[in-house]
């Protein structure tokens, strides 16, 4: 595990010297030092880091919740639903059509709809942190779309599970979906009305006690969410949403930073461990076609979200590129597909597609000002076209 941390740190330092984002470098470290690549093998079994990886995802989404204030959720609920619904309609719809076009089967097409349709919450969070855009106005619709995606994800998994397992009981599928939806409603009500009580429970001047308390709450709620058939990350997100609005919120944001960064790196490293480069040549053309479809759909979805919020080309480009990466949800679907005995080409396809977008997404987000120049509405304002690293010259921008 120490070697994994050091390898990720060394590659990230080297990449930082030439301006590369950390996410693809952490993934590359996992690929190079994993069981599927010749040479030094630090981790022979990717499952050895499974708990650390899960904790990284939980902390990334917990931090995302801390940044997404309840006031934003209350004020922008309708716009958030429209932007998120538009994103899902374009990307999930395109994924389903792409799956049927490949001709691998109906179950495979349903899996591909989710793979192509859902962004990686972990990578999106890391991109927003790395690019310093958490204070930008377009970050609200980005986080809103992630929330809508996570809610859809919970219902989608509940509906897909009986299909992949071959179950023909409609009542069982409805019961699983109802349980997941009911738990989501419970979490939403707790976030809406329980903030004051939660704030009192977590109020303490001792940083040690505060760290243990919020970490325990985030991980515990993630486990409970998973038990109810809801993605573990959304439970952690809701805990962050509640705590971010309390009097301890600002202290928690500072205290969680080192935990988020360390375990987040392990999440991406473990992601790289699961990828076998030898499987990729078999599906390289379908992977490239899927990436092209996703690029087009994300640009259209970014334009749609920007129009809902009244933004120009710059924010539209940021929305399009930030949400581009695919990750943890696609890997969950790959595991489900393998267990259900679906087409053997599905797993390497998903691995190649996710790897390519995990690398391309952060790189595109860092250069989104080039996309802004060619989007509709003519020339973008200078503030929107400012490349990353120069935004501090513009008053009021991060």
Whether pLDDT at 212 is above 90:
yes
- In this structure, of 1-10, 59-68, 170-179, the range with the lowest mean pLDDT score is 170-179
pLDDT for residue 96? 93
Distance between CA 97 and CA 20 in Å, rounded? Answer: 34
Whether pLDDT at 385 is above 50:
no
Nearest by Cα to 91 from 301, 292, 287: 301
pLDDT in tens, 103-150: 888 888 999 999 999 998 778 888 888 888 888 888 888 988 887 887
Distance between CA 151 and CA 233 in Å, rounded? Answer: 11
Residue appearing with tokens 């790189």: 363
pLDDT for residue 216? 94
- In this structure, of 23-32, 63-72, 210-219, the range with the lowest mean pLDDT score is 63-72
For residue 93, what are the contacts with CB-CB under 8 A and spacing of at least 6?
Answer: 113, 117
Residue 262 φ then ψ, to 5°: -65, -50
DSSP 277: G
Give me the chain's average pLDDT, please.
81
Distance between CA 162 and CA 179 in Å, rounded? Answer: 14
For residue 241, what are the contacts with CB-CB under 8 A and spacing of at least 6?
Answer: 65, 66, 68, 70, 73, 191
pLDDT in tens, 173-208: 677 667 777 777 887 788 777 778 888 888 888 999
CB atoms within 10 A of CB 345: 15
Q: Write b or e for each residue in 179-201: b if 16 or more Cβ atoms lie within 10 A of its Cβ, otherwise e.
A: ebbebbeebeebbeeebeebbee
- In this structure, of 24-28, 88-92, 97-101, the range with the lowest mean pLDDT score is 24-28
pLDDT for residue 72? 59
The tokens for 5 are 């941390």
Give the residue with greater pLDDT, 99 vs 196. 99
The percent of residues in the chain predicted with pLDDT above 90, rounded, is 19
pLDDT bin (cut points 50, 70, 90) of residue 395 is very low
Whether pLDDT at 389 is above 80:
no
For residue 89, what are the contacts with CB-CB under 8 A and spacing of at least 6?
Answer: none
Residue appearing with tokens 């479809």: 293
User: What's the rounded mean pLDDT across residues 323-351?
Assistant: 79
Whether pLDDT at 246 is above 70:
yes
pLDDT for residue 384? 42
Domains of the chain, earliest start first: 55-250+282-339+346-374 (1.20.1530.20)
pLDDT in tens, 15-59: 777 766 677 788 888 888 888 888 888 888 888 888 888 898 889
Nearest by Cα to 87 from 328, 241, 294: 294
User: What's the rounded mean pLDDT across residues 161-177?
Assistant: 64
356 three-class SS: helix
pLDDT for residue 295? 95
Whether pLDDT at 93 is above 60:
yes
Distance between CA 296 and CA 2 in Å, rounded? Answer: 40
Cβ atoms 313, 376 nearer than 8 A: yes
Whether pLDDT at 266 is above 70:
yes
The percent of residues in the chain predicted with pLDDT above 70, rounded, is 85
pLDDT bin (cut points 50, 70, 90) of residue 267 is confident
- On the 0-12 / 13-18 / 19+ scale of CB atoms within 10 A, 312 is buried
DSSP 389: T
Long-range CB pairs of 382-386, under 8 A, 24+ apart, other chains included = 383/314, 384/312, 384/313, 384/314, 384/315, 384/317, 385/314
CB atoms within 10 A of CB 175: 14
User: What's the rounded mean pLDDT across residues 80-88?
Assistant: 90
The tokens for 303 are 């334009």
């Amino acid at each position: 595990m120490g070697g994994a941390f050091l390898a990720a740190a060394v590659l990230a330092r080297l990449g930082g010297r030439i301006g590369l984002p950390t996410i693809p470098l952490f993934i590359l470290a996992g690929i190079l030092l994993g069981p599927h690549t010749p040479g030094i093998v630090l981790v022979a079994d990717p499952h050895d880091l499974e708990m650390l990886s899960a904790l990284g995802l939980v902390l990334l989404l917990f931090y995302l919740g801390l940044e997404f204030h309840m006031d934003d959720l209350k004020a922008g609920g309708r716009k958030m639903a429209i932007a998120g619904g538009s994103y899902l309609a374009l990307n999930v719809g395109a994924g389903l059509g792409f799956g049927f076009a490949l001709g691998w089967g109906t179950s495979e097409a349903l899996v591909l709809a989710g793979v192509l349709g859902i962004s990686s919450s972990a990578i999106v969070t890391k991109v927003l942190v790395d690019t310093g855009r958490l204070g930008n106005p377009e970050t609200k619709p980005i986080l809103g779309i992630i929330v809508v995606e996570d809610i859809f994800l919970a219902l989608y998994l509940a509906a897909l599970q009986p299909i992949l397992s071959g179950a023909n009981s409609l009542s069982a599928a409805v019961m699983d979906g109802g349980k997941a939806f009911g738990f989501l409603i419970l979490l939403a009500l707790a976030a809406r009305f329980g903030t004051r009580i939660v704030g009192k429970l977590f109020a303490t001047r001792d940083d040690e006690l505060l760290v243990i308390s919020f970490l325990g709450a985030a991980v515990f709620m993630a486990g409970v969410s998973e038990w109810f058939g809801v993605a573990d990350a959304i439970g952690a997100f809701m805990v962050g949403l509640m705590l971010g609005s309390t009097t301890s919120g600002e202290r928690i944001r500072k205290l969680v930073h080192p935990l988020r960064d360390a375990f987040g790196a392990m999440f991406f490293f473990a992601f790289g461990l699961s990828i076998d480069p030898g499987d990729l040549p078999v599906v390289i053309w379908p992977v490239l076609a899927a990436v092209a479809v996703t690029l087009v759909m994300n640009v259209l979805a970014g334009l749609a979200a920007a129009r809902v919020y009244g933004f120009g080309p710059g924010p539209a480009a940021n929305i399009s590129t930030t949400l581009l990466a695919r990750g943890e949800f696609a890997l969950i679907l790959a595991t489900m597909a393998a267990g259900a005995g679906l087409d053997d080409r599905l797993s390497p396809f998903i691995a190649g597609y996710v790897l390519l977008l995990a690398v391309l997404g952060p790189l595109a987000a860092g250069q989104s000002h080039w996309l802004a120049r060619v989007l509709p509405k003519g020339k973008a304002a200078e503030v929107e076209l400012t490349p990353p690293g120069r935004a501090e010259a513009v008053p009021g921008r991060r």
